[in-house]
Chains A and B, each alone.
Chain A
Amino acid sequence: MENGLGIPQTIALFGASSEIGQAVIREIIQVGVANVVLAVRSESSVAQFKDELNGTYPGVNILVHQFDALEFESHDGLIARIVTEVGDIDVAVIAFGVLGGEPCESLLSTDAVQVAQVNYTGTVSLLGALATQMKRQSHGKIAYLSSVAGERVRRSNPVYGSSKAGADSFAQGLSDRLVGSGVSLLIVRPGFVASKMTAHLKPAPFATTPGAVAVATAKGLASGKRIIWVPGLLRFVFSIFRHLPLPIWRKLAEKG
């Protein structure tokens, strides 16, 4: 539960090595939070982040849990272990995801299948487990970090784009199902985010930063919005992009 000052007691980050995810935690953590759970595939990858949080917020209990998006059967058990250890989860940030390799090489490879499974099936599995727990609690907020890449899939990354599109659609449906339950789900759709995941790519127009995504996510969580775009202008840009004829979209997307 949030306490009387509106401060969540337990925050969980899934995909805790994500730069955006960490930025969101930095934005929403404050004095009065009791626990932050970092769920991550490789625990050593968040050692530095854990130290940083311990240093800045000595009163907050920082816990690390092993989490693999591809081990679908383990997700329920992970949520149960967290709840046993620290109680109800008040805020969950879903930040895991993989971009995958260059298209033509990976399109038909096992890599493509894995990207799809992490980004789509992994999200379906974890969101399902989380939503079930939060419905039981009748409270809780989830922020799912989606991407504009799913809004209209580009030829340069069809696997990533479509997996995000699928997960985004799933999240929308789930968000609708949660109305009236006391639980809310926020979908965050950033544009191109300059981070280590995209360091090898040329920034697209309307590029943003992990910090900007974090600020917008924190605001979205506080205001109870269901979908936000970062930067906000992308909402209007994509309402045009969505309707562009295929050849024009292909040409436009090629440049990005």
Chain B
Amino acid sequence: MSSNRELTRLSGWGNTAPSMCHVVDASGLDVIKTAIEESDTRGVIARGLGRSYGAPAQNAGGTVLLMADHGDSSIGLDPQTGLVTADARVSLERLMTELVPQGWFVPVTPGTRQVTVGGAIASDIHGKNHHVDGSFGDHVVKITLLTSEGNVRELTPEESPSEFWATVGGMGLTGVILNATFKMIPITTSSMRVETSRAENLSALMTSMQDDRDYRYSVAWIDLVAKGSRMGRGVLTRGDHAALSDLKNVDEASALKFNPKALLSAPPIFPSGLLNKWTVSAFNEVWFRKAPAQIHESIESIGSFFHPLDGVKQWNRLYGRSGFVQYQFVVPFGAEETLEAIVHRLSAENCASFLAVLKYFRKGNDGPLSFPLEGWTLALDVPAHGGHMAAVFAEVDEMVLHAGGRHYLAKDAHIRPDAVMRGYPRLQEWRDVQQRMDPNHVWQSDLARRLRLTTR
């Protein structure tokens, strides 16, 4: 039956490892149920806006449910409590566009607004406020899930903790998230009060990040190209939502205006190799110099503070046809030496990272596959051409795991099944719940197959 259906080529945001999938526009519950009934041994997975870098939202030879918001998906806000119930298809951008003017901000946003509520939960995304607010799942009070047997279930942390937490960070492998209820953050303006400072090397940077707890949002950009005593130099930006009193000449009504800028699009013509060690080095120099030597305060928009890359639609094309991989790991506090050794190793490799981001996480939540772990997380992009990175990653993976760290599944493109087993000690517990929730092995993805996440 499935062999007669048309195949569509899908890949993640990194444009690597594409696969041929049967795509179904999951416009309604009945469509989703039919797709599940008609699926074969290759199974089904839901896909939102496709911003995961690797392969969690594609399913070679199987069915992919496209959870697209055609602008009609529901958002219901309770203005008394700030609780919002949103369709899983709704993007964070739409939530901001509709709710920021009413004085509510999403509890967690990653570096892009182009993620759906379903994806935010399935990847248990984190943002610049993790050290204060935790990850997205920490703010969710209810998930409505369609199970593989066609039942609609309501999951809450109180009444169904194991199913709820298996779904938070569960990479879509427990069911199709239909909608969710979560707490928004009250704001009085749509502006950000931002402090920017720079640090001459990695240890200076980590030292200055020790007082991050005084700020709701914090992230550091580090330069992997700089060598010697400047290795790991970086720019630290921290801030919070601005109060009305922080803004000059702005009245209460216009203070909450939110207008995501019209997006430019990067044309699909960039050659692979455009981002190389010379261009990145020049870019990094400018970025570093642009940051003031002394602590500098400014007022920024939500877009420029949280989502600078959303300004260029499909910026992933800058890496050319061969695409790129994003590498993100976390190591626990106490493993600073490992972190430095890793930065040293990557810096020696001239791995041409456009962005390397350092941040620290507070304690993680109850999701067995949720990524955050109390410690330091580093994320970087690496062009996917140049096969030698596999050996470098293998080395760095071992350093991460040895230090008790782990890799972020929403970004992973290369780790091996044993790296999940070691990095996520509660994997088996998750598998048991997953198997109970999906006895027929319906939920499958390329990521799940490569990492043997749902192996029985």
Contact A181 B414 (CB under 8 A): no
Partner of A32, one of B322, B414, B417, B449: B414
* CB neighbours of B53 from chain A (8 A): 4
One of B160-168, B369-377, B383-391 at the interface:
B383-391
Q: How many residues of B contact A (CB 8 A)?
A: 38
Partner of B16, one of A6, A32, A135: A6
* CB neighbours of A30 from chain B (8 A): 387, 390
A173 to B450, CA, bound (A): 31
Partner of A136, one of B21, B41, B414: B41
For residues 1 through 48 of chain A, which have their beta carbon under 8 Å from a beta carbon of chain B? 1-7, 9, 30-32, 34
Minimal Cβ-Cβ distance residue in A for B53 = A4
Minimal Cβ-Cβ distance residue in B for A4 = B413
Partner of B387, one of A1, A6, A9, A135: A6
Contact A136 B390 (CB under 8 A): no
Question: What is the interface of chain A mostly: helix, strand, loop, or mixed?
Answer: loop
For residues 426 through 451 of chain B, which have their beta carbon under 8 Å from a beta carbon of chain A? 446, 449-450
* CB neighbours of B446 from chain A (8 A): 1
Contact B19 A5 (CB under 8 A): no
Contact B390 A138 (CB under 8 A): no
Verify if A232 is at the interface (C-beta below 8 Å from B): no
Contact B416 A34 (CB under 8 A): yes
For residues 69 through 105 of chain A, which have their beta carbon under 8 Å from a beta carbon of chain B? 87-88
Given contacts A138-B19, A182-B60, A182-B61, contact A32 B390 (CB under 8 A): yes
Contact B42 A136 (CB under 8 A): yes
In the complex, number of A-B residue pairs with CB atoms less than 8 Å apart: 93
Given contacts A30-B390, A31-B394, A34-B417, contact A1 B61 (CB under 8 A): no
Verify if A59 is at the interface (C-beta below 8 Å from B): yes
Verify if B55 is at the interface (C-beta below 8 Å from A): yes
Minimal Cβ-Cβ distance residue in A for B412 = A4
Verify if A205 is at the interface (C-beta below 8 Å from B): no
Verify if B299 is at the interface (C-beta below 8 Å from A): no
A138 to B61, CA, bound (A): 4
Verify if B3 is at the interface (C-beta below 8 Å from A): yes
Nearest Cβ distance between residue A30 and chain B, in whole angstroms? Answer: 6
A36 to B99, CA, bound (A): 53
* CB neighbours of B41 from chain A (8 A): 136
Given contacts A31-B394, A88-B60, A182-B7, contact A3 B19 (CB under 8 A): no
For residues 185 through 243 of chain B, which have their beta carbon under 8 Å from a beta carbon of chain A? none
Kindly supply a per-residue 1/0 record for chain B positions 36-67, scoring 1 wherever the CB is within 8 Å of any chain A CB and 0 otherwise.
00001110000000000111000011100000
Contact B3 A135 (CB under 8 A): yes
Contact B20 A182 (CB under 8 A): yes
Contact A181 B7 (CB under 8 A): yes
A136 to B59, CA, bound (A): 11
A182 to B7, CA, bound (A): 9
Enumerate the 5 nearest inter-chain pairs by beta-carbon distance, A residue then B residue, closest first. A4-B413, A138-B61, A182-B20, A32-B390, A4-B16
B residues near A (Cβ < 8 Å) are 3, 7, 9, 12, 14, 16-17, 19-21, 40-42, 53-55, 60-62, 322-323, 325, 384, 387, 389-391, 393-394, 412-414, 416-417, 446, 449-450, 452
